[in-house]
Amino acid sequence: MHIEYTTEQQDNQHFYRQFAQNEVASLAQQIDETETFPFELGQKMADMGFLGALVPEEHGGKPLDLISFGLLNEELGNACSSTRSLITVHSMVTFALKRWGKKEQQKKWLPLLASGEKIGAFALSEPNIGSNAGYIETTALPDGNELVLNGRKKWITFGQIADLFLLFARQDGKAIAMLVEKETPGLTIHPIRGMMGTKGAMLAELELKDCRIPTSNMLAGLGFGIMAVAMSALDIGRYSVAWGSVGIGQACLEASLDYTQVREQFGEPLRNFQLIQQMVTNMITHVKAARLLCLQAGYTLENQQANATNDILIAKYFASKTAMEVATDAVQIHGANGCSSDYPVQRFLRDAKVMEIIEGSHQMQQIMIAKNAYVA
């Protein structure tokens, strides 16, 4: 494994950072406070090719190698976790379509998703079912050439504005994955507001009441919904969140370095105090370690190695844990200012906590990593 970026990856990272700092960072507080994602920003991301990062060129995408895709998530996560969340869920849908979709589905949807004309969202979680995805309650009953959907999906990132949902249900006791369009009769979208972190990710609850879709909207086959479609999409989601967590950690480090150089106590800059130096040292070390784990995950995923999923789990677990620890220290370093909306570290802390929950909770990552160790 190479731990140095290629020239192309370095150029990509520079471009992503410029975009994130020039186009996203200035909107981050507004996005957080209004709990609304600007349409114009989403279109700019589409124009830059970010929404087609995992879409083949033949379908209008601008495909990235997975290290560059990770760097994109880091830089957007550094500026605004809500914005990075759009890349996460949208890419989960495009990746699933690319891998499991029928040619007709790919031809219809991938160009629209790559261009940003349509936004995709991942609909797995339910009010009673979170990490226990194998026991989803939403049902899909066959009726001729249609499936009749009944149930609820909750905590759906960008569900308020998504045009296409990759949705999971049970048919004859077996899990299936399907595409459900926003305008489908019987689908009602309820906005979720008042979240603690990633407040601009426009979460929604989906209510499905005798919602009919053609059977041709299924991805893969009966029984392949969770272990095939969902798990492969979750690999991309967790990988994105891991890199986004590194971005949060890096943002906390940068904010703390700036603050400790200008803030004085007892006639000395904070940077001169040994306990502050200890906290900064831990930030630097842990963020760098998290980034290296993300690089390892990207390398194994890019090369389709058997241990890719486990490397992603490890990266997501450690990076989200690091983001929370680093954000906590960043707020502590800032003192009362760290609890004020005048400084971004309070937002970083709230967003970091979400990273420990989404795409599989902190505890579920631990369970899966340990189980994989015993299998190995």
Q: What is the pLDDT of residues 12-32, one digit of tens each?
A: 999 999 999 999 999 999 999
pLDDT at 3: 75
pLDDT at 2: 63
Sign of the dihedral through C-alpha 194, 199, 201, 202: positive
User: If you compute the radius of gyration of the chain from its CA atoms, what whole number of angstroms results?
Assistant: 21
CA 99/CA 139 separation, integer angstroms: 24
| 349-353 contacts, C-beta under 8 A, 24 or more apart | 349/324, 350/196, 350/197, 350/199, 351/81, 351/82, 351/197, 351/198, 351/248, 351/323, 351/327, 352/197, 352/245, 352/248, 352/249, 352/320, 352/323, 352/324, 352/326, 352/327, 353/196, 353/197, 353/324
CA 228/CA 205 separation, integer angstroms: 24
Tens-digit pLDDT profile for residues 222-233:
888 888 999 999
Could you tell me which CATH class the domain 226-375 is placed in?
mainly alpha
Say whether 359 is catalytic: yes
Tens-digit pLDDT profile for residues 173-191:
899 999 999 999 999 999 9
Q: In the CATH scheme, what architecture does the domain 7-118 have? A: Orthogonal Bundle (1.10)
CA 157/CA 298 separation, integer angstroms: 23
156 within 8 A of 204, measured Cβ to Cβ:
yes
CA 125/CA 206 separation, integer angstroms: 10
Q: Report the pLDDT averaged over residues 267-285.
A: 92
CA 376/CA 372 separation, integer angstroms: 6
CATH classification number, 121-222, choose in 2.40.110.10, 3.40.50.300, 3.40.190.10, 1.10.510.10: 2.40.110.10
216 within 8 A of 247, measured Cβ to Cβ:
no
Residue given tokens 């370093």 in the structure block: 333
Identify the active-site residue in 23, 35, 205, 359: 359
The domain limits of the chain are 7-118, 121-222, 226-375
Question: What is the value of pTM for the model shown?
Answer: 0.96
pLDDT at 284: 98
